[in-house]
Amino acid sequence: MLTAELFRRVMVASAILLGGGLVHGQTVASPLASVAAGASEESAERQLQATATENFDARALDQIWLVSSRRLGSRNASLDSLDIRRRVGGSCWQASSVVDFMAPDADGFQRPVVIFIHGNRWSLDKAIRRGLQTYNQTILQWPDAPPVRFVIWAWPADRIVGPIRDVRVKAQRADEHSFHLARFLQKMDPAIPVSIIGFSFGGRVALGALQLVGGGAIDGCGVPTAPHRVPPVNLALAVPAIRNDCLVTTHRCAYDQIKHLDLLYNNRDTYLSFYRFTRFDNRRPALGYTGVSGLHCLPDHDARVHQLNAARFVGMQHDYLEYITDHAVEAHLREHLLIGLTQ
């Protein structure tokens, strides 16, 4: 269970990280704007934490939620087993439920949902920090954005001793936890637009969920068909850790659930360069390393799939902070992720 003390510690940090919005009618610069280009992750984190908390806030009509499957040990766990919290009053997170999340908003707004899924070797603290930074870069600084419901989706990705063992365990774990996301998507109102951001193994969680929602299987298992068709989503993947031909092999059904795919890959990524040597995924290179293999087999790929090699922007590091703080990359991400959300 996510304890009150853990949330208190994490949310002190979260209040620091939201920025670039309006506070008392005045525009406030993003805390990320002050992070020096090329700064290390540790240095950038220190700069962000030095920012006064009273200077930052979310947009008044936006909602920020945390949905966590971190404590779930079975792919068959019910949706009610998810830990769900809603951010209220700046640094406070209020316990909630699936019923509350799925209920129509009392103010009458039909908010599009944006779901951020974090990568491997991330603690809950780091997942929330990076989720809030993603909100800051993709939503808060977008002047034409409608009111949105931004969801930080957390899964058990804490570091495991032994790099090869860590990758193998997390690949299996990401596949397992894609079942929880699939059921969550099935439960949502089909009239509400959904966009998903997945980084590294978070992209594997996202594609697994879409494979299941589309009627496919993961490791021979599927989910019951939803009472209504689940509409396709906008999907943004940053260096996803999954085989590069998955959309035409293991995850063929996922493509039917994708309205628009924006893929950031990096053929200089040191971490992903070793992916095919981990002896799973049929020893295929990573999708986040090469881009889509078998692209020509995907219907309407010219209109529905957009790929960008981010190597020249972020270099060799497999570091989400490098992506979300690069102006060219974040502008590209926002442009494609939010297609169709404006009226």
Instruction: Taking residues 63-86, report their average pLDDT.
Output: 95
Q: Where are the domains of the chain?
A: 59-337
**What's the pTM value of the predicted model, to 2 decimals?**
0.85
Give the residue with greater pLDDT, 102 vs 106: 102
Contact 130, 321 (CB under 8 A): yes
In 3D space, the residue among 310, 216, 298 whose CA is nearest the CA of residue 266 turns out to be 310
103-131 pLDDT, tens digit per residue, is 998 888 889 999 999 999 999 988 988 89
Instruction: Taking residues 284-292, report their average pLDDT.
Output: 96
> Regarding the domain delimited by 59-337, which CATH topology (the fold level of the hierarchy) does it fall under?
Rossmann fold (3.40.50)
* CA trace torsion 275, 239, 324, 149 (10° rounding): -120
Q: What percent of the chain has pLDDT over 70?
A: 82
Determine whether 58 is exposed, middle or buried from the number of CB atoms within 10 Å of its CB (0-12, 13-18, 19+).
Answer: buried
232-266 pLDDT, tens digit per residue, is 999 999 999 999 999 999 999 999 999 999 999 99
Side chain identity at 136, as an amino acid letter? N
165-176 pLDDT, tens digit per residue, is 888 899 999 999
Instruction: Taking residues 144-166, report their average pLDDT.
Output: 90
pLDDT (0 to 100) of residue 60: 84
Instruction: Taking residues 261-277, report their average pLDDT.
Output: 92
Give the residue with greater pLDDT, 62 vs 24: 62
Inform me whether the pLDDT recorded for 270 exceeds 50: yes
Inform me whether the pLDDT recorded for 34 exceeds 60: no
pLDDT (0 to 100) of residue 12: 38
pLDDT (0 to 100) of residue 175: 97
Contact 81, 163 (CB under 8 A): no
